[in-house]
């Protein structure tokens, strides 16, 4: 996930630098690359800016209680999505257990004497690995 975010960041950074280089080239040469597309995008950008200004004015008119209720709704929605994710995780584990050839797998103690001694030493129950019971 982090690699994807870093890749998106650097692609965005390269695109921004490319736009500045293109703008500098257009101002230096006095030519415009794709003028019809340029005008269309300028109009759309201005419309978007006007929309954001109108949205900001409308949001300032909302009562604080409505904003608080929206916050609670978003929070509750996030908690419900998390609960659904936990449920789906449990179902995925049940499905994996159902289709596994080791149905209801339970760990047993090792049969090998060597492995028993290693586990015993690892748990701190053994002395320094030397059997002194004889």
Domain that holds residue 98: 63-128
Interval 57-92: pLDDT, tens = 888 888 888 888 999 999 999 999 999 999 999 999
- Give me 88's structure tokens: 């789906």
Interval 1-33: pLDDT, tens = 789 999 999 999 999 999 999 999 999 998 988
Tell me the whole-structure pTM to 2 decimals. 0.38
Q: How many CB atoms lie within 10 A of CB 86?
A: 10
Residues 39 and 94 both lie in one domain:
no
Interval 88-110: pLDDT, tens = 999 998 888 888 776 666 777 77
Asked whether the predicted pLDDT for residue 128 surpasses 60, the reply is: no
Residues 42 and 92 both lie in one domain:
no
Asked whether the predicted pLDDT for residue 124 surpasses 80, the reply is: no
User: pLDDT value at position 132?
Assistant: 53
Residue 133 in any domain: the answer is: no
Residues 78 and 107 both lie in one domain:
yes
- Give me 83's structure tokens: 């609960």
Instruction: State the DSSP code for 87.
Output: H
DSSP 41-77: HHHHHHHHHHHHHHHHHHHHHS-HHHHHHHHHHHHHH
Residues 46 and 97 both lie in one domain:
no
Residue 23 in any domain: the answer is: yes
User: pLDDT value at position 93?
Assistant: 87
Residues 53 and 80 both lie in one domain:
no
Residues 106 and 68 both lie in one domain:
yes
Residue 6 in any domain: the answer is: yes
Domains of the chain: total: 3
Residues 77 and 102 both lie in one domain:
yes
Q: Give mean pLDDT, residues 106-124.
A: 81
Cβ-count burial 60-81 (b if 16+ within 10 Å, e if not): eeeeeeeeeeeeeeeeeeeeee
């Amino acid at each position: 996930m982090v690699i994807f975010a870093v890749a998106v960041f650097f692609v965005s950074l390269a695109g921004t630098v490319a736009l500045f280089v293109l703008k500098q080239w257009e101002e230096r040469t006095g030519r415009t690359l794709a003028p019809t597309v340029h005008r269309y995008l300028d109009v759309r950008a201005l419309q978007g800016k006007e929309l954001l200004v109108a949205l900001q004015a409308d949001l300032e008119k909302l009562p604080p209680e409505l904003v608080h209720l929206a916050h609670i709704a978003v929070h509750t929605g996030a908690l419900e999505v998390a609960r659904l994710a936990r449920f789906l995780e449990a179902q995925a584990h049940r499905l994996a257990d159902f289709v596994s050839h080791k149905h209801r797998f339970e760990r047993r103690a090792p049969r090998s004497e060597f492995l028993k001694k290693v586990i015993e030493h690892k748990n701190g129950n053994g002395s320094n690995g030397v059997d002194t019971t004889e």
